[in-house]
Chain A
Amino acid sequence: MSALRKLQKDYEKTLSSSYEWNYRILVVEDQKEVAQSYTDILEHSAKVIPLQRSSRSARIESLKSDSQEKHFPFQLSIVHSAAEALDAMKAAKAKNQAFAMGFIDVLLGDGMDGIELLKELQKMDDDFYGVLVTAYHDRDVDSIHKFLGEDKVDQWDYLNKPFTNGEILQKARNYISLWNLQRESKIREKEMQDLRNQVFQSERFSTVAAVARGVSHEFGNILVQIMGKAELGQMGNEAKKTQSLEKILEASIRANEILDRFNHLANPGNADFPKETHNLHNIVNSALDLMEHQLRTQAIKICKIKSDNGKVFVNETSIMQVLTNVFINASHAMPGGGQIDLGVYDHGDFCVLKIRDYGTGIADKDLEHVFDAFYTTKGKKGTGLGLSICREIVEIEHSGHFKLYNHEVKGLVIEIQLPRKEVA
C-alpha cells in the first residue's frame, strides 16, 4: 500500500472514530427539594412541571416528541453548598471527568454566593458552562457580567425562579451540546493538524520528493544564472556578451551533469532489472570482491558476525550497487583503517543485512538529511545522491526497508531488509 493510500485510510479511520459525549452536570442547590427536582427533570428528562408551584404528584405528561429526538442521558452530581461544589469540581478534574455545565443557585446560605462560586469553578475549568438560578432580582445581568469578566461572556446564562421543566431541560440540552460540539471540533481540528504533519513528514522523507526538491533547487539556481546572464548580456557590450555566453554554457553543462545523476534514479525498476531468487551471502561476497582492493589498501577488515539463511528475491545488480555504495561510505568513514561487521539475520518474510562500520557515525544534525538528494557531508568527494539512490533501490524497487542509525557504542549501522519472495 502506498504511503499516501495508508494515510488516507488512517484518516478515514480517525474521522469515523466515535467521540464520546460528556453529559455530566453539576447541580449546586441548597434546598433538597429543589435539588431533587433537577434529578426528576433531567435524569428522567420527561415530565414538565412548574417546579416551585407544585409537589411531585402534580407533574404533567411527558413531551411526546422526546423519543424521536437525540437522547440526552444526563449524569447529575448534586451538591448542596459552595464548598461541596468546589470539591466535586476538583475530584472531576482529577478523574479527568470534567463537568460540561452546571446549574448554580445564587443564594447558597453562608459563605460565597453562586456567582462567586461560578467564577471559582471557571478558574478551575475554563470550559465549564454555568447557569445561574435565582429567585431574586438582586443582581442584574450587567453586574454579573462585570463581575465574571468579558472573556466569560459566552460561558454563563441566567434563569429566574420559578422556572419551568422545559427551561431547565432545554438549557441543559443547549449547553451540553455546545460543550460537546466545541470539544469535538477541537479534537477533530487537532486530528487534522496531526494528519497534516504526517503528510508533511511523509513528503519530507519520501525519496522521490527529496530528489525532486534537490533537482528543483539546483535547476532554479542554474536558471537564475542562465536567464540572468542572458538578460545582462543583452544589455552589455560585446565583451560582456561573450563573457555571458561562456557563463551560460557553464551553467548548461552543470544542468546536464545533474540530469545524468538524476537519470540513475529514473530507471523504472522492474523492466530493466528483473528479480530472481538469490543467496544474499553470494551477493555480499561479490560486492566485497569488487571492493577488495580499496578495503585492503585502507586496512579495513571484514568480520561476518551472523550468517542466517540468505534467500532473497532481488535484482542482483541493483543490490550490488547498494552494497558497494554502502561499503564505499563505510571506508570513507574510516580513513585510517578499521573494521566492518556484517550480519545476515532471519526476519520472517524478510532477510536482514546489517552493516556496521567503526567510524565516527553521523552527527544528529546531518542524520535527518542523509536521504535528501544532493546532501553530502563529504564536500567535493560526494554527490549527495548515494544514500537516496540506495534507499530508492531497496524501498521502491524491492519493497524492502533501508535504515541507518548510529551504533550505540561507535560507528554507523546500515540495516537493509529484503523480501524473501516476490512481493505482490
Chain B
Amino acid sequence: MAQANLNIQILVVDDDKQVLEVIVEYLEYFGLCNVKSFSSAQQALTYIQDSRNSIDLVFSDWEMKHLSGLDLLKAVRGNPHRKETPFIMVTSQGSMERIKITRAVKSKVDAYIIKPFRAETLKKKIWEVLEWNQEDEKAS
C-alpha cells in the first residue's frame, strides 16, 4: 500500500458531457486535479495513442457512439507504454453486464463501476486500483 499521490495524470472519457462534468468534479473533490477529459472517444483514442502524453489512470464509459470503452481498453493494452496503466470501466445497469464484464476482464480491465455511483464508491475503486492506502487517507 502506497501513500496517495494526488498529482497523477487521469484520463476521463464519457460521451455524455453532464456525466463527464460530474466525474471530473468528483475527482477534483478527492484532490485529483490533473484530469484530462474527453466527450469523444475518438479524440481520447488519439490522445492515448500519442505516447508523449502521460496517463496514470484511465476512466472510461463503456457505451459510447462509434468507439466503445472496450476499444479504448484494447488501445491502451495494445500500446507498449501503457500495458500496465490502470483502467476503470464505467457501465450502465443492463442485461448485458455479465457478458461485457467477461470481455473486459479478458482485455485486463482493472475495475468496473456501475452507474449511478456515489462518491465513496468511486473513491474506493480508484484507491484500490492504484493500491493506495485508504486508512492513511482517512486519518489525514
List 3 A-B pairs, minimum CB-CB distance, nearest first: A228-B22, A223-B116, A220-B115
Within 8 A of B (CB), among A372-415: none
Report whether A232 and B115 are in contact in the complex, using a CB–CB cutoff of 8 Å.
no
Alpha-carbon distance A227/B118, docked complex (angstroms): 7
Nearest-CB distance from A219 to chain B (Å)? 8
The answer to whether B93 and A216 touch across the interface, beta carbons within 8 angstroms, is yes
Interface residues of A in 197-229 (CB under 8 A from B): 200, 203, 209, 212-213, 216-217, 219-229
* B94 and A224 within 8 A (CB): no
- Name the B residues within 8 Å of A226 (CB-CB): 116
Given contacts A219-B92, A251-B18, 8 further A-B contacts (CB under 8 A): A217-B94, A220-B115, A220-B116, A224-B115, A224-B116, A228-B26, A231-B118, A250-B18
Q: Classify the secondary structure of A's interface with B.
A: helix
Given contacts A200-B99, A217-B63, A229-B22, contact A224 B117 (CB under 8 A): yes
Minimum CB–CB distance from A311 to chain B (whole Å) comes to 39
Query: Is A423 part of the binding interface, using a Cβ–Cβ cutoff of 8 Å?
Result: no
Confirm or deny: B6 has a beta carbon within 8 angstroms of a beta carbon on chain A.
no
Residues of B bordering A, CB below 8 Å: 16, 18-19, 22-23, 25-26, 29, 63, 92-96, 99, 114-119
Contact of B116 among A200, A227, A232 (CB under 8 A): A227
How far does the Cβ of A200 sit from chain B's closest Cβ, in whole Å?
7
Interface pair A213/B95, CB less than 8 Å apart = yes
- Alpha-carbon separation in the docked complex, A219 to B19 (Å): 11
Instruction: List B contacts of A235 (CB < 8 A).
Output: 29
Q: Does A47 contact B (CB under 8 A)?
A: no
Q: Which B residues are CB-close (under 8 A) to A247? A: 18
Residues of B within 8 A of A250 (CB): 18
B60: min CB distance to chain A, Å = 14
A213 with B94, Cβ < 8 A, contacts A224-B117, A228-B25 known: yes
A49 CB to closest chain B CB, in angstroms? 57
Q: Which residue of B lies closest to A213 (CB)?
A: B94
With A232-B26, A235-B29 as contacts: A224 and B19 at CB distance below 8 Å: yes
Q: How far is the CA of A247 from the CA of B118 in the complex (A)?
A: 17
Q: What B residues does A200 contact at CB under 8 A? A: 99
Contacts of A251 in B (CB 8 A): 18
How far in angstroms is the closest Cβ of chain B from A297?
A: 31
A221 to B21, CA, bound (A): 11
Closest chain-A Cβ to B93's Cβ sits at a distance in Å of 6
Q: In whole Å, how far is B26's beta carbon from the nearest beta carbon of chain A?
A: 6
A226 CA to B117 CA, complexed, in Å: 11
A254 nearest CB across to chain B (Å): 8
Tell me the complex Cα distance, A213–B63, Å. Answer: 11
Cα A363 to Cα B117 with chains together (Å): 36
Query: Are B92 and A216 in contact (CB-based, < 8 A)?
Result: yes
Interface flags for A321-356 (1: CB within 8 Å of B; 0: not) read 000000000000000000000000000000000000
Which of A220, A221, A227, A232 contacts B25, CB < 8 Å?
A232
* A203–B98 CA distance with the chains assembled, in angstroms: 14
* Minimal Cβ-Cβ distance residue in A for B65: A375
From A204, which residue of chain B is reached at the shortest CB distance?
Answer: B96
Write out the residue numbers on chain A whose beta carbons fall within 8 Å of the beta carbon of B119. Answer: 228, 231-232
- Ordered by A's residue number, 8 sampled pairs between the chains whose C-beta atoms are within 8 Å are A213-B96, A216-B94, A219-B92, A223-B116, A224-B117, A225-B19, A227-B118, A232-B119
Q: Is the beta-carbon distance between A232 and B29 smaller than 8 angstroms?
A: yes
Q: Bound state CA distance, A200 and B119, in angstroms?
A: 34
- Are B95 and A221 within 8 A (Cβ)? no
Taking each of B16, B23, B116, which has the highest tally of chain A beta carbons within 10 Å of its own beta carbon?
B116
Complex Cα gap A220–B96 (Å): 14
